[in-house]
Amino acid sequence: MWPRDARLALSVVVNVEEGAEMSTRDGDKGPEPVDELGVHLKVPIRNFANESNYLYGIRAGWPRVQAALARHAVPATFTAAAVALERAPEIGRAIADGGHEPCSHGWRWVHQFSYDEARERDFVRKAVDSIRATTGTRPLGWLSRYLHSPRLRATLAEEGFLYHMDDFSDDIPRWDVVETRDGPRAILVMPYALDSNDMKFWLAPGYTPQQWLDYAVETFDVLHEEGGAAPRMMSLGVHLRIIGRPGRIRAFDRFLQHARSRPGTWIATRESIARAFAASMPPPATPSWEG
């Protein structure tokens, strides 16, 4: 299934949300509730402290993450909220120049699951147009902020997406056939993972860098072992403002070093993994993307 009969396809996912989070600055009803300090303001004011914590990801975290990926020659999938790249165009250019994949994390990093069909489709289209402008490539994958509407996969198929990753149900991709306006169409479900995500640093009780590294390495090793019997895929999700801190970045670097040292590992973008899967396991219905 994977090139060179690899046991494991490793997908490194770099989330770029900074600058696209909720803020009264952008017309939201309140400030961003996801905060490393756990301060959840319920009044409609700007949380300048939390905004600066997000900005750290752009100013200081991004150069460290970029350097680690380059040092180990790792192609990553950047799940980017479109507005985040508009406000940090240097990251959009680096995604293109580094051979990475832009994947849509929405137009902004906000909840779109309650939108009606027309508003959600507009949200999808604005994200596509924006990311194409900042990276030079249209995104073929989608990751929502946590939740999505029952209609979203059909909308993504109609809008030309190859895969959807709001799913945590397996360690291997699968096809989903959805009913669209033009009849049944197939879209790939590329499962993501929360347990190995660096958000574990922000959740109580938070992981130490060594705990996160140990867990990520153990996940990798088990999937690599299982891949001897049947191919597996691993997702490792990180964030500029989280893993990019000086006390955490070496854990990321050491994980990449470990993955690079194991034969039978294919480190690839999610688009590459999706296309390899599709070539090996053809869709059960006419797909909504052009090969």
Confidence of residue 204 (pLDDT cuts 50, 70, 90): confident
Amino acid identity of 130?
S
pLDDT of 206 > 80? The answer is: yes
What confidence score (pLDDT) does residue 18 get?
Answer: 97
Report the sign of the C-alpha dihedral through residues 178, 179, 180, 186, in that order: positive
pTM of the model: 0.94
Radius of gyration of the chain from its Cα atoms, rounded to whole angstroms: 18
Calculate mean pLDDT across residues 171-200.
95
Calculate mean pLDDT across residues 96-104.
97
Report the sign of the C-alpha dihedral through residues 222, 15, 9, 258, in that order: negative
Calculate mean pLDDT across residues 96-101.
97
For the chain, the average pLDDT equals 94
Rounded CA-CA distance 232/172 in Å is 6
pLDDT of 205 > 90? The answer is: no
Q: Which CATH superfamily is domain 3-280 in?
A: Glycoside hydrolase/deacetylase (3.20.20.370)
Rounded CA-CA distance 291/287 in Å is 9
What confidence score (pLDDT) does residue 285 get?
Answer: 58
- Which SS3 state, helix, strand or coil, does residue 185 take? strand
Rounded CA-CA distance 238/99 in Å is 18
Q: Which of 30-39, 177-186, 189-198, 254-263 has the lowest mean pLDDT?
A: 30-39
Distance of CA 106 to the CA centre of its chain: 11
